[in-house]
């Protein structure tokens, strides 16, 4: 981004920051083709408008991030990933189970497992989603 674009972005942000509630509501409707949810603070609306303008000027977010934001907005859980070296802990029927994430699998009680679902099945005796059972989904 060159100096002129930087200046334009700074000026646009300053202009949004100076909006009163009525103009902020107008800008929100222009930007999103709908009124904002009820009870949003003026400061929050300004932050969202600034974020939207920055995305427009700087190219937005990745497709992956957009998909996750839409999942979150729809109330869906956003899958987390457990990286090697992570430890997952779950209490079940009074016993605490600890699983270490390693390359290509998981280790619990000295035994290597290929999936969290297999571990969850071993612990509970029932078919569970392993990531859900351990809270990583």
pLDDT digits (tens, 9 = 90+) for 95-104: 999 999 999 8
Q: 47: closest CA among 69, 87, 19?
A: 19
Specify the higher pLDDT residue, 83 or 137.
Answer: 83
DSSP 8-state code for residue 7: H
0.85 surpassed by pTM: no
pLDDT at 80: 61
Under the banding of pLDDT at 50, 70 and 90, the label for residue 2 is confident
Q: 20: closest CA among 45, 52, 37, 39?
A: 45
């Amino acid at each position: 981004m060159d100096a002129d674009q930087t200046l334009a972005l700074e000026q646009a942000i300053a202009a949004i920051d100076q909006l009163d509630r009525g103009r902020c509501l107008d800008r929100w409707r222009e930007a999103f083709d709908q009124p904002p949810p009820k009870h949003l603070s003026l400061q929050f609306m300004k932050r969202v408008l600034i974020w939207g303008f920055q995305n427009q000027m700087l190219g937005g977010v990745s497709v992956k991030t957009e998909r996750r934001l839409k999942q979150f907005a729809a109330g869906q859980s956003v899958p987390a990933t457990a990286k090697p070296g992570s430890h997952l802990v779950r209490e079940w029927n009074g016993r605490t189970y600890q699983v270490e994430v390693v390359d290509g699998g998981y280790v619990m009680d000295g035994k290597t497992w290929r999936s969290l679902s297999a571990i969850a099945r071993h612990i509970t005796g029932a078919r569970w989603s392993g990531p859900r059972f351990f809270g990583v989904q």
